Amino acid sequence: AQSVSQHNHHVILSEAASLELGCNYSYGGTVNLFWYVQYPGQHLQLLLKYFSGDPLVKGIKGFEAEFIKSKFSFNLRKPSVQWSDTAEYFCAVIPSGSARQLTFGSGTQLTVLP
């Protein structure tokens, strides 16, 4: 079945550590890729997205993600995390021709220790 996989369910880091969250998808055709973030008690917000062009995408708050087509991956990175980055992070995909239907991964809870 077509899906989105986030293998890290819970990541705990200290402030200033580097972050990389994995995301893999199983769709064979063209896809639009997203990372959303959900801060405690808040609704989902878009961090960044990839539609086409440069596979290295920069988003808000210093986050970036790299689309590697050969690996079906779209990993999220940040060189130095802050306590305020504590949140749940969701990778999502819109496959081509799916009428904007977002398919989400199961999410990764990031806890940053001060």
Which of 80, 96, 77, 70 is CA-nearest to residue 35?
Answer: 77
Segment interacting with other proteins (CB under 8 A) among 14-22, 60-68, 79-87, 101-109: 101-109
Sign of CA dihedral 32, 94, 34, 2: negative
Segment interacting with other proteins (CB under 8 A) among 3-11, 14-22, 52-60, 68-76: 3-11
d(CA 58, CA 94): 19
Footprint of other proteins (CB under 8 A): 4, 6, 9, 32, 34, 36, 42-46, 49, 51, 90, 92, 94, 99-107
